[in-house]
Every structure is written in structure tokens, then in C-alpha cells.
Chains A and B, each alone.
Chain A
């Protein structure tokens, strides 16, 4: 299977690009924050450095897990037809799993050296900034150790192999032709998935209550953890939530479409999205993640700044929060771009079909643009839904009022950025996907 994995990687390197970036990020952040912790433990820093490295590392690893699982799922989906072919040629489910595992192994090993280098460089830069802000003892230097890079690769491999189990479930469960059909048609939302989603929501309730009764620093950490949990619930329930969200947001477009007859771009887009709630939900999840986690973070930070006695909340603390926010946003952006590119490219035949039935390129692009805008708005809506409960719980704990201080200067650009990223990614990918002659795209598999 290692040989097959090699052949696949060599023939279609582009389809592994998203996965490679996600795995690179995972190796990078573990190496970076691992180096800081090792430096602190080795006497090169102090307790605070170990704490900063640990806290950052924790969040980074959770995000890495999410993004790797997300990108791997798309990489497997892109190979769906080849996997069916392998199965009809006699590959067992175990062999298919092994093939995907070997792909993950190869890509991880490939991105490890650059991940180590970038992680090491990042650690030195980060420590220098910390020293400059008096968050680490003066003169502290990153101590070299083989463990952080090794841990980076090992943990990333573990995460990737774990994610493989989830990603291949569809490709090897059931008979091969059914597996192939699932990639083409709209899948049903499993009741198990819905039930799990409700259970996770149930699980956040005690966490909410707990958050309101904790000291500030604990509550802040809990709030972030809680919104990750909310995010998981939204991820599970997204296929159910996606349709009403788009129906609501798409209303203006449908009305506009009804008035300008013959245009149809907007109404077409709204119908397209509503009719394909499953695909839409895959696009919503990373956007909601990006917006939800960052907003929670910004709200917690904003509320903290509000209640802290003057001077106690130093500029350096604000800087730390900013870095953490940037990291969250970075991971979210990688997941968003990867998901949208995969979804848009996968619809190449659909665009070709529209073109053959008389849609102009302009109409196509307008449809894509409207779809992307609607998708982004629905994602933002879900993201704010994710952020709300934990931000409110934290505000109750900090100020006793249910109104968190939401710093608009950081949340505003985030939301706008998420929308812009979505629309730009879809339009750029769409331009490339519709560049080849329609007949060729409709005929080639």
C-alpha cells in the first residue's frame, strides 16, 4: 500500500496540498510551543514561560486536530472514485484504510523538516518578543532539544492516524457502489449524528454553569473550552441547521431575483444551497469555527480588560491575547480555504452542465459569488451562535452582567475577513474551475 500511496502522491500532488498545509501547521506549532516549554523546564526561562507555552500549545493542538481531520476528510472524498475502483479490484476495507494511513504518513514525513525549521524559528522569534515585553527573563534563549520536533511529528502522526479512522468510514462502510453513490448524491443526516449533537449541547450546560462560578482566569480558559464544545455540537448538527439558516438569509436574494426576471443568479444560488444542505454544511463548519472561536476569545479578552483594575491588565497581556487570536484565526483560515477549494473544484461538472444549458460565464460567476456570500453569512451566524453562550457565561462570572464587552475593533475585521476570505476563495477557484471548455469538463470524470 505504501507504493500505491507514493504513486497517488506523485500523480496528483495538488489534491494533497490542503492536507499537507494542515499537517505542516500541526508539526510547526507543536515544535514551537514544545521548544518554549522545554526551554522553561531546562532553566532557560521561568514558570510563566512554561505556562504560556503550555496554554498556547493546548489550544494549538486542539485546533490542529480539527483542521487535520477536516482536510483529511476532503482528501479522502476526492479519491472516492479511485477507492471504489480499488475495491472492485479486490481491495479489502483494511487495505483501503492502510492506503490512507500511508498517505498521511508520507505527507507528514514530507512536511516535518520544514515544520521543524519553521517551528524552531518561530520559537526564537516568539521568545524574543516575550523577553522584549518582560514576559520572560531577560537574555532567555531557546534551548535546542530533539524532543519538541520529534514530538511534533509523532503527535501529528497520531492525530492523522486517528482522523483516518473517521475519514474512511464512509469510503469503506457498506458495498462499493453505495460508497460511490454517497459522494455523488445528497447523504442523509444520520440520527446518530443528530443525537450526538444534542448530547454535546447537553454537555455544555454544566460547563456554562461552572464558568459563571469560577475565578476569572479559570473562567476564561473554561469559556474557550466551552465554545470548542459548542463548535463540535454545531459541526454535528450543521446539516440540520444549514437549511433554515440559508432559507432565512436567502430571502432577500429570492425576492430580488423575482423582481429582475431573466437574471436568476441570486435565486439560483439560494435554491442551489438549500437543495444541497449537506455540502453547504461542510462549507459552514470552518467559517463558523473561525468566527466562533475568535469572537469568544475577543469577548473574553474585552470583558477582562473592562473589569481589570487599571494597570493590572498590562499591554503585554493584550499582546499575548492578540497572538493567540491570530493563531486561532490562522488555523480557521486554513480550514476554510481548504474546504471551499475542495467543494468548488468538486462541482466542476455541475458548472460545465450549467454552461452547456446556456448559462454565461458571468451568470455562473454571479451565482458563485452569491452562493459564497450567503454561505459566509450563514457561517458567521452559526459562529456567533457558538460564541454567545460562553461569552455570556464569562461575562456573568466577571461582571455579573449578561452583556459581554465585545471589542468591535477586533471582532468587526474578523467577521469581514471571514466573509471576504470565503467569497474570494470561491471566486478564484471558480474562475479556474470554469476556465476549461465546458464540454471537456462535462465529459471527463
Chain B
């Protein structure tokens, strides 16, 4: 048996033969969190969202983080993404310890290497679709590559809406603009917090396919928080959190296996 048969047929493991096979200039970043703790408040009233989490996300892999609400999954994502400050523990992006960086350095690193997609409210309401997609480049002071913006919008099927403002788009369309922004900057790591949470099924699948394609074709590292077993089945690996700790770590589970794990932890 060839090694490719291990991979479920729903996503092709080998790169598209039409793409050039040159080495990727921006390979995915490996992420590592060690003994990560995060508590809110002090003393007896303190809430412990994370109680010592050790987890690594290998370069070029797609990981789903799941767990019941209040399990700390969003907190984990935000701490690993450098958007929240941990109470103790460390986070590394590649060899860089981001938890030791001052805000300005971290901002520059985020700009260079990371992309974010939230459940909702991903776009600047005052800017057009096109301006939203090129926003990171403008913030970085780079020249805006109009062709690349058009290509990114074309990939998410919104080429004809580029002059529109977000207010006139549906939720699914807005989320696809957010994905286009992530495609345009070619981040080495993409963080997504319930990216399909506010979408209908068809739009959700479309977004997940786009995330998956980034991992497949560009070797991007992708970490996604979700509560939807179908969304999680797009990932290579599913990490389950409960009560601020990792309780299960499954490789390529089926949607059924994920649902089983979720209902088990809910009991």
C-alpha cells in the first residue's frame, strides 16, 4: 500500500500536479505551548481558564481544538496566537518565544507571519472588500499587489464584489473576505476562532475547504477552535480540552468519532 491511502479521500494529500513543485519560501510555523496557565481575577474569585496546557502544533498541519463551552479552548487559541497574555507558561512560534516579546515586536511578527479569522466581525466596516483584503499590506507599508488581491478574491468567489462595503454582504460572504485577506498575505500560521460558527452549512464548508487548501498547497499551519464535528473532521488532528486541560488528542478522527468523544466528555 502506498502511504497516501492512509489519508481519507475527502482531501487530496498530494499537491495539485498543476502547481510548481518548488520549495515553499514561506513554510508553516511550528507552535509550542508549555505549561500554559491563564486565570482571570485574583484570590478565591479567580477563574482558571487554562490549568497547565502542553501542546505543539507541527508545521504545515491543521489542528482543531474542541471542548465544551468554558473548557478554555478560545483562551488557548488567543494565548497561542499572542492575543492574550498568559498568567504563566511559554509560547514559541518556531524558535521565537512570543511570550517574551514586547507588544511592538509581537505586532511586527503577527503582521509578518500570522493571520486571524474570528467568528464574526472580521472586517473594517468603513473599507471596501478590496481595501479589507489589502489591509495587512497597507499596515506593513508594502506596495499593494492588485493582481494578487484580485486573485485572492477570485479564489473565494467574490471577484465581482470588490468595491462593496462589508455591510452589504451576507455573513458567509464577509467570512470569505476574511479568508481572502488571509490568502493574500500568505501567513505561515492561521488562527481561526469558530470561523464557521455564524455561517450556514454551504458557506461553512466553503470556508473550511479554503482553510484546508492553504494547509495542503502552501504548507500553512492552521489552528481552529470549533464546536462542530464536521468542521473538525477537516483537520489532521483534534485536541480536546475540558476544564482548562488537554484530555484527548486524536489523529485524523472521523466526524462520528469526534461526536462520540464530545458526548463522552459532556457526561
- A residues with a Cβ closer than 8 A to B are 3, 7-8, 10-12, 81-82, 85-95, 172-178, 445
Q: Which residue of B lies closest to A445 (CB)?
A: B121
Does residue B139 face the partner (Cβ distance < 8 Å to A)?
Answer: yes
Distance A351 CA – B133 CA, assembled complex (angstroms): 34
The answer to whether A89 touches B139, judged by C-beta atoms less than 8 angstroms apart, is yes
Task: Report B165 CB to chain A, min CB distance, Å.
Answer: 8
Task: Report B234 CB to chain A, min CB distance, Å.
Answer: 23
The proximity string for B residues 103-117 relative to A, scoring 1 for CB distances below 8 Å and 0 otherwise, is 110111011100010
Inter-chain contacts of B122 with A (CB < 8 A): 85
Quick one: which of A7, A88, A174 contacts B103, CB cutoff 8 A? A174
Inter-chain contacts of B82 with A (CB < 8 A): 175
The answer to whether B110 touches A88, judged by C-beta atoms less than 8 angstroms apart, is yes
Contacts A175-B82, A177-B78, A178-B85: A92 and B107 contacting too (C-beta < 8 A)?
yes
The answer to whether A175 touches B85, judged by C-beta atoms less than 8 angstroms apart, is yes
Inter-chain contacts of A11 with B (CB < 8 A): 125-126, 165
Does residue B88 face the partner (Cβ distance < 8 Å to A)?
Answer: no
Contacts A93-B104, A174-B85: A86 and B139 contacting too (C-beta < 8 A)?
yes
Inter-chain contacts of A94 with B (CB < 8 A): 104
Distance A95 CA – B85 CA, assembled complex (angstroms): 21
Quick one: which of A3, A90, A93 contacts B140, CB cutoff 8 A? A90
Inter-chain contacts of A91 with B (CB < 8 A): 107, 111, 139
Inter-chain contacts of B136 with A (CB < 8 A): 89-90
Q: Which residue of A lies closest to B83 (CB)?
A: A177
Beyond the given pairs A87-B107, A90-B107, A173-B103, 18 more chain A to chain B contacts, judged by CB atoms under 8 angstroms and listed by A's residue number, are A7-B127, A8-B126, A10-B126, A11-B125, A12-B126, A81-B121, A82-B125, A82-B126, A85-B124, A89-B136, A90-B136, A91-B107, A93-B103, A93-B104, A175-B82, A175-B83, A176-B83, A177-B84
Could you pull out 20 A-B pairs where Cβ atoms are within 8 angstroms? A3-B138, A7-B126, A7-B131, A11-B165, A82-B124, A85-B122, A85-B124, A87-B107, A88-B83, A89-B111, A89-B135, A89-B136, A90-B108, A90-B111, A91-B107, A92-B103, A94-B104, A173-B103, A175-B83, A177-B84
Q: Which residue of B lies closest to A84 (CB)?
A: B83
Instruction: Give B107-160 interface residues, CB cut-off 8 Å to A.
Output: 107-108, 110-112, 116, 120-127, 131, 135-136, 138-140
Contacts A172-B103, A175-B85: A89 and B181 contacting too (C-beta < 8 A)?
yes
Distance A3 CA – B131 CA, assembled complex (angstroms): 11
Contacts A10-B126, A85-B124, A445-B120: A93 and B107 contacting too (C-beta < 8 A)?
yes
Task: Report B89 CB to chain A, min CB distance, Å.
Answer: 15
Distance A380 CA – B78 CA, assembled complex (angstroms): 43
The proximity string for B residues 72-99 relative to A, scoring 1 for CB distances below 8 Å and 0 otherwise, is 0000001000111100000000000000
- B residues with a Cβ closer than 8 A to A are 78, 82-85, 103-104, 106-108, 110-112, 116, 120-127, 131, 135-136, 138-140, 165, 181
Distance A5 CA – B123 CA, assembled complex (angstroms): 16
Inter-chain contacts of B139 with A (CB < 8 A): 86, 89-91, 95
Q: Which residue of A lies closest to B193 (CB)?
A: A177
Distance A246 CA – B83 CA, assembled complex (angstroms): 36
Distance A329 CA – B111 CA, assembled complex (angstroms): 47
Task: Report A263 CB to chain B, min CB distance, Å.
Answer: 32
Q: Pick from A7, A90, A91, A445 the residue with the most CB of B within 10 Å.
A: A90
Inter-chain contacts of A81 with B (CB < 8 A): 121
A-B pairs with the 10 shortest C-beta distances? A90-B111, A11-B126, A177-B83, A92-B107, A445-B121, A7-B126, A88-B116, A177-B84, A90-B139, A89-B136
The answer to whether A90 touches B84, judged by C-beta atoms less than 8 angstroms apart, is no
Contacts A88-B110, A90-B110, A94-B104: A178 and B84 contacting too (C-beta < 8 A)?
yes
Inter-chain contacts of B106 with A (CB < 8 A): 175
Distance A92 CA – B104 CA, assembled complex (angstroms): 6
Distance A89 CA – B114 CA, assembled complex (angstroms): 8
Q: Which residue of A lies closest to B110 (CB)?
A: A90
Inter-chain contacts of A7 with B (CB < 8 A): 124, 126-127, 131
Inter-chain contacts of A12 with B (CB < 8 A): 125-126
Distance A93 CA – B122 CA, assembled complex (angstroms): 19
Inter-chain contacts of B124 with A (CB < 8 A): 7, 82, 85-86
The answer to whether B131 touches A92, judged by C-beta atoms less than 8 angstroms apart, is no
Task: Report A310 CB to chain B, min CB distance, Å.
Answer: 64
Inter-chain contacts of A445 with B (CB < 8 A): 120-121
Inter-chain contacts of B181 with A (CB < 8 A): 89
Q: Which residue of A lies closest to B125 (CB)?
A: A11
Q: Which residue of A lies closest to B127 (CB)?
A: A7
Distance A89 CA – B181 CA, assembled complex (angstroms): 9
Inter-chain contacts of B116 with A (CB < 8 A): 88-89
Task: Report B108 CB to chain A, min CB distance, Å.
Answer: 7
Distance A445 CA – B198 CA, assembled complex (angstroms): 12
Distance A290 CA – B86 CA, assembled complex (angstroms): 43
Distance A87 CA – B125 CA, assembled complex (angstroms): 15
Q: Pick from A10, A88, A176 the residue with the most CB of B within 10 Å.
A: A88
Inter-chain contacts of A90 with B (CB < 8 A): 107-108, 110-112, 136, 139-140
Task: Report B99 CB to chain A, min CB distance, Å.
Answer: 10
The answer to whether B84 touches A175, judged by C-beta atoms less than 8 angstroms apart, is yes
Task: Report A172 CB to chain B, min CB distance, Å.
Answer: 7
Distance A339 CA – B203 CA, assembled complex (angstroms): 40
Distance A173 CA – B85 CA, assembled complex (angstroms): 12
Distance A89 CA – B115 CA, assembled complex (angstroms): 7
Q: Which residue of B lies closest to A178 (CB)?
A: B84
Inter-chain contacts of A176 with B (CB < 8 A): 83
The answer to whether A92 touches B108, judged by C-beta atoms less than 8 angstroms apart, is yes
Distance A87 CA – B78 CA, assembled complex (angstroms): 13
Q: Which residue of B lies closest to A92 (CB)?
A: B107
Task: Report B32 CB to chain A, min CB distance, Å.
Answer: 19
Inter-chain contacts of B127 with A (CB < 8 A): 7
Distance A175 CA – B139 CA, assembled complex (angstroms): 18
Distance A82 CA – B111 CA, assembled complex (angstroms): 16
Distance A174 CA – B108 CA, assembled complex (angstroms): 15
Inter-chain contacts of B104 with A (CB < 8 A): 92-94
Task: Report B75 CB to chain A, min CB distance, Å.
Answer: 9
Distance A81 CA – B125 CA, assembled complex (angstroms): 11
Inter-chain contacts of B165 with A (CB < 8 A): 11
Task: Report A444 CB to chain B, min CB distance, Å.
Answer: 9
Q: Which residue of A lies closest to B131 (CB)?
A: A7
Task: Report B78 CB to chain A, min CB distance, Å.
Answer: 5
Q: Pick from B84, B126, B131, B181 the residue with the most CB of A within 10 Å.
A: B126
